[in-house]
Chains A and B, each alone.
Chain A
């Protein structure tokens, strides 16, 4: 196997892995404020792609406007999910809330299927389709968009969580919600904010991925699954572990597909993930087992 094709697989893997990482980030942000795994996370990614396609084709808007419209729309959808489905059940066991998010994901899928049909759509690439040669491999311009937007988003979130009041308040909620409310942090507002940020991050992931892979009403299931796998791989609760987990998962998958078998690429990624969990039960970058009895 020549190095150029290995590089090619890595580039593909990093590109797809970026979206897994963004989905994983969404999981992590909500998990940190609520302790809930949001099964509707993949639907936010799907909505990002589908709303842009609709704004582009249905409303005839130019692509940048369509994208600029889709991301806030999905962020709003995240807020609605929290307000209508999560807040009325606050205080219930995490398992109940998880089942509610499963219901919400089915609902969103059903809604999109009803409004925009079952067809598969593609979004045109942001800046052409001429591959850029890079050390013997071909780099698609869209891959550059995906990688740079992901990096920018990561940097933005890093700044948000470490330097702004709202970010620090959200971190405080993740450590101890009760203590956070005692020092005057509106925990409920932070939960709402976490759903909005997760939806935002997911939508951005969906928008930048849509030109590379097709999008349809049911792509969210698999993306959500990969996102969950990525945040477990990186260690649940650690946002940057989640992003790294996504990139690693993407590269593993792409190398598995290229070097071993494309039919078994998901199986290969999951076998490695299982093997890793058995060796490191709390993920690559997860905190060592520290639990109150």
Chain B
């Protein structure tokens, strides 16, 4: 897959594409979808570090996403604190709760860990629904302020650039991490916990670190989401979204960070395309998911790599046969 430099080059290409994308899109609807793609990709990248690289699972990441969103909503809207302060508090809250939950949970393995994180996500989602006085309950929380520069609230385009920029930063940080001593420790841990331990890697601390980091990314996406839509409701942070996030990571290709970005974009855009089919929408979504999983063993990233390889080869063969014909 190439080294750090190749990954950074790919990241630059992605950044350029994200920067130029608004030029090719018409209207606010497309921009909103693109912004949502970037937000989902941010969570998927964090989850990829946890699932694909550290080998742990979380079925509760929608909870951290919601925690970030609700923290900043309450702080900036109910208590009237400045937006940047609320955003920072939202990210910190998600990370802090992940720390508290992670200490006992990460002792569990496999499906038991899945259950613990799932249970935690559901408890959070029930709290979002039932603490009506704080969160507004099932009907949602309205009136979250848009960040403003010199008194004027940011427009959708400016906000999109903030979100896309954050995604690139999250990716850069994650790539850096994976190519560091810590990243190697994580891979060792994924291969065999016992062997990693024998090499002197503090397994518990590394797992906890990645868990907290990925929850922090989810929290960041949450605060950006809250101030983007200025309205949040518990339905966006439930169990099904946690599952969707895992699907993004696996469908994208477990070991590839950019694959997770691809998975997130694919699963976020797909329902928008399927919307024209109305009643058949859900059915088609399930069918496409099953077919992708069946026929792309390396995920979307693997499929893309195989496709470019095949194109390169046929191009090569064509030039060769042309050269042969010329001779």
* Residues A85 and B294 in contact in the complex (CB < 8 Å), given A110-B281, A110-B283, A277-B116: yes
Query: In whole angstroms, how far apart are the Cα atoms of A228 and B115 in the complex?
Result: 8
Chain B CB within 8 A of A259 CB: no
* Contact A95–B250 (Cβ < 8 Å): yes
* CB neighbours of B122 from chain A (8 A): 225, 266-267, 270
0/1 string, A248-270, CB within 8 A of B gives 1: 00000000000000011011001
A270 to B119, CA, bound (A): 6
Q: A37: CB under 8 A from chain B?
A: yes
Q: B112 is contacted by which of A39, A110, A225, A282 (Cβ under 8 Å)?
A: A282
Q: Does A21 sit within 8 A of B, measured CB to CB?
A: no
State A22–B248 Cα separation when bound (angstroms).
Answer: 30
Q: Are B293 and A96 in contact (CB under 8 A)?
A: yes
Contacts of B116 in A (CB 8 A): 274, 277-278
Residues of A near B281 (CB, < 8 A) are 110
Contact with B along A165-181 (1 / 0, CB 8 A): 00000000000000000
Task: Check if B200 is an interface residue, CB within 8 A of chain A.
Answer: no
**B-facing residues in A77-101 (Cβ within 8 Å):** 85, 88-89, 92, 95-96, 99-100
A229–B115 Cα distance when bound, in Å, is 7
Q: Kindly list chain A residues whose C-beta atoms are within 8 Å of the C-beta of B246.
A: 99
> CA of A266 to CA of B119 in the docked complex: distance in angstroms?
9
> Which size class do A's interface residues fall under?
35 or more
Q: How many residues of chain B are within 8 Å of chain A by beta carbon?
A: 43
A111-B119 in contact (CB<8A): no
Q: Which B residues from 107 to 123 make CB contacts under 8 A with A?
A: 107-109, 111-112, 114-116, 118-120, 122-123
Cα distance A224–B11 in the bound complex, in angstroms:
39
Cβ of B54 within 8 Å of any chain A Cβ, yes or no, is no
A→B interface (CB under 8 Å): 37, 39, 85, 88-89, 92, 95-96, 99-100, 102-111, 113-114, 221, 225, 228-229, 232, 236, 263-264, 266-267, 270-271, 273-274, 277-278, 281-283, 291, 293
B residues whose Cβ falls under 8 Å from a Cβ of A: 104-105, 107-109, 111-112, 114-116, 118-120, 122-123, 126-127, 130, 192, 194-195, 239-240, 243, 246-247, 250-251, 254, 279-287, 289-290, 293-294, 297
